[in-house]
Structure 1
Amino acid sequence: YAIIRYRLLDLNIALTRAGILAFVYTLILGLPFGVGAIIKPWLSKLTSNWWLLPMVILAIFASAGPFIYMKLQRRIESRLRAQEFKSHEALRRLSHNMLRFTNLDGLLKLIVHHLVKILNLKFAAVYLLDSQANKYILKSYWRPQQSLETSFEPPAEFSRNSSLLKDLYIRRLPIVTEELRLFEPNKSSSHIRELISILSKLKANIVIPSFLRNDILGFLVLSDRRTNAVFTQEDLNLLMVLSNEAALAIENAQFHKKEKLVLMEKSRREALADMAPGASHQFNNRLVSISSSAELLLLKLEKVKTENLKDEEVKRVLKETKETLELIDKEVYKGKEITSAILRRAKAKVDFQKVDIKGLIENAHKLVQIGHSGSGIQKFKEPKFKMKLLTDMHDIFASEALLQDCFYNLIDNAFDAITDGITKKIKPETHAGEIIITLQQKNQMLTVQVKDNGIGLIKENQRKLFTPYFTTKASSGKGSGLGLYVIRDFIEMHKGTITCDSEYGKGTTFTIKIPIKNNHGGYDA
């Protein structure tokens, strides 16, 4: 029982040792008696104590027996376990090499591929925690061809409240399916029955948690071996070490990924900051020239006394000219606002500092309006933009550039959702689109809700919303699928969270929560 329950010894090794012991001591005990039987007739003629010689031989052999046994045991076991020793050494090398990887996807693929090859598994899979969804998502899975039925696919996710995760948190050790079935004293309980059912559907032999600071960052799922060999306790110990090393390597890769994202954003910002002042200066010069000319013409028209003119056609033309010049002057003013908004965005810093969140959102809205001017939305009524302040607003400690990108993308998505609702006939052409942004500061936390009454999302799309390269936009040119994925990273850099609540045909609400002051003084995750 103890050998199987605690995997203290491989049964093949135990039988081999028993066989070696039987062989050695049969030889040790049998040889002296055989020698005595052969030489007894001759020795008995010489002395009555003929039996002393076999006893001396027996004593010599008995003294040498343990040494002969141990030497034979080492030689035979080293041959029998040669492949096992190689796999253990390969697992140790894999543990040491994982920290060199900074690409998360590459790291996870390396882990599952090497585990399948080293341990001769039918498949291996890695699940990682998605803190926003509070679920463990399948991130990497590999199996050799024809090792399992082609229809088998592991579950896409596990809830943090599932029996599997609860058991991993309690045990803090690998879960072995065979042990649960054979030796679990409480296997009649509903929890254990559910756990065995989950492992059976998962076709898992062993599930190994990866702990990081008392939390499960993820877990490894390993199938049976293709040779039907069991996992020894030494195997489990090495896999547990590898799993914890993997947690550090994954955290390191995630950190590098976020650092790379910030560096790319800084580089883009610097390029925009270099270009924007010159471009806006030149554009403003043209606007000043147009505005000055229009105002000069308006002054001249003011001096013309139209009541003295007798020709009605001339009066009408002068009136229309005056209205047109006034319109030009208004549009020039809007153009100045546009260049001002672009310049403010270009000058926004990625570094953390005090930020006026209300002004930042208003500027993001102006930029979205600029982007949608002349687009398909002009065929319909432009959505109304409302901002509600539930409490007094104070500056927050944040990255102006990163948050401006977040709110720009969310407001832009809201515009698109309202347009899609009309173009796909979900909403009537007379639909009055609304984008409502609610701000509240309470208990050292900023809460921002971005709500629209657009097309909304189906449940399946809500689950995939924050995954990279997933987009609900019909044109691949319009949506890359990285917007919300990057937004979530930016929010997490502020130690914040973003969630989505949506109903198809009714609209979508994004809720962002950010600490008002980041005590770390930076964007480290």
Structure 2
Amino acid sequence: MVPLLYMYIMTITALGSYFLGLFVLFRNPKHVLYRAWFYFCFSVGTWSLGYSVTMFPDVTKEIALVFSRISHSSGAFMPFLFLRYVLIWLHIDDGKKFLMRICCLLSLILATASLTPLVVVDLVPKLFFKYYPTGRTIYGFYVMNFVSWVILAHYYMIKAYKISSGYSRNQMKYVLTGTMLGYFGGATCFPLIFNIPISPYPAVLISIYLITTSYAIFKYGLMDIRVAITRAGIFAFVYALVLGITFLIIKIAKPYLVGAFSDRWWLVILGIGMVLAGTGPFIYMRLKSHAEAILLREERKRHQDLAHVSQNILRFTNLDALLKAITHSLIKIMQIKLAAIYLVDEDKKVYSLKSAWQPPIKTPDLPKEISFDSALIKTLNVKKNKALNLDEIRFHYQRHNVTGILEVKQTFESLRAHLVIPAYRAGKLVGFLSLGDKRSERGYSYDDIEVLMVLANHVTLAIENAIFSGQERERQAILFHSASLASLGTMASMMGHQVNNRFQAVNNLAGFSETLELMLDSKKDFSLDERKQLIEKSITSLRRISDEATKGGETVASIRRLGKLSSEEFTPVALGEVLDVALGVLRYKIKFDEFDFNMEVPDTLPKILGDSTQLGEVFFNLIDNAYDAIKERVEANDNLDYKLEGDGLATDSQSRKPQLTVKAYIKRNDKHLHIEVSDTGMGIKDDFMPKLFVPFYTTKTSSGKGTGLGLHVIKRIIEFHKGKISVESKYGEGTTFKIELPTAEAREGEKTNA
């Protein structure tokens, strides 16, 4: 019964090893660490399977000897493969290539020798085993080689453990415990070979070791220890269930099986055991998935939130707002202590700090610039698309103690970073994310780093988009500003006349001082009434000078308001304020008493999110164009009494005054402000309508009256404010321009949703 139990345990260990090795390998076949772990698991599985076959009740001695030698040959490679994956895991394999070559050569020699009688001479009965290996003197060297390399691998892990900290230290302790447990179980197979009567029961610990360390190792040693323990518990439960069912069948059905199959009854039990062992991994995976869904619920939610951030950051068009949103999102979602973003500055040859947040400190004291020549930047450029972890840097420094690694370590400390995520664009490092420790003191898992690398790729695209949008805004602002200056240029003569009138009035009033001086020279004594009259005249003149200066200042202020360069940021602005900008200048050009000017703009209208200068330019041009159209119609008929008749104008007997109306309103359940600028001017011919917003196309009869850019710029400004503009016109009757602009509340709502 005992050999049968041992056979089941070793068979399950073999199947579990193969399964875990393949599972890890299929996650990423190109990953060198995953491949190293697969090779190690394969050697453990082959070693276990060979031992299992030697325990089969009806196996012949010849077959058992062949499988025993195969098992020992695989076991000879086990310490080399274990050492190799430890060195790769700890990132010190590059400096240990010679050591690994020696280990590989010795393992190859022993593996070859193990297939011959040089290592395993024969199989003999020992304790309760029908066949158990017995070896020659060289077997001692086999054991020494096995133990030496395993101890060396643990030595490197212990060194790494001593310099690790926080969560990484706890996980390193866990991995060390697991590997020691597994190799202790495997080593108990050796004493009986040397006729030391110690039963190898602890070999079952190998299966527990595999499941409790697999994910911790292949995930760069950064797996939540709760998950590993849970997986180990589920594994133990599933295979205890498998063994329990098998032994229950043996106890209940053995008499019937013996009667049906005589001395080959155990083959049925073996078949049932193999089926149960084969279904065990699927049961395990099912239970594991449910357990991890509970244990890792918060971590997976964080990853989903980061994926959502990655999708939405491309909507940002303002670089500062984008970078601030990224740092705040990382702090909130990842629950970390600090987040900072550095972007490349080609002119200065540095990476400049663009955004940082460390709650409750809004602007943490971090280096403002990182030079191109710094060890950190050089390392990032060498690693290429690989995150840098502080634990890895510390280990390399402890191991090699070279200047470059010391500088990287010092830069990490100045950044207060635990993880640096590079951001590349077209193979060039355009910036990096600097992330501090987690508040939970846990390390960054493999999945964390993977998601953050994806986020970094999206960040580079979003930054590129925001920079382009900023440049486009600057070009638009220059275009709009040029249009404003052009509009003022057409009014230069009139505005100059207005300013000159102010100066002339002041000069005339100041002439009173000469009159006063002559009066004082010609007459020495003044009566009380004469003094009073002189004072009153002086006060009147001074007041008129003050009034004229005020009017002159208003004229200049109007010019400056319309002609100033637009600001980059939009702010909530009332439509009334925008119209004041336009009308403040137009009153010097347009004679408002020549027509009925109606303003139907309630004070209660919601504000617009925009630029008052740009929007002022819109209404300046529309009202100015409307006035030109009215004048054109007046000139077409001297008495303004007309109607459209064919292609010409005919008068009627009833006179009416031209109308120019600015009307604004908001519809029910609508978040757009509707504005109409209408006139009873000449109107636009149908042939001109499709070309109305085309650059350099003008409907004005005189080339000196327009450049053809006015309506084109108006359309660009309205679209820049996320609005729409349309026109309705009938030649000979008038024109109405209709504008829709989203309210400030609607625009802010869009930003919040983004």
TM-score, normalised by the number of residues in structure 2: 0.34
Q: Flag the structure with higher helix content.
A: 2
Larger radius of gyration: 2
Question: Larger relative CO (CA 8 A, sep 6+): 1 or 2?
Answer: 1
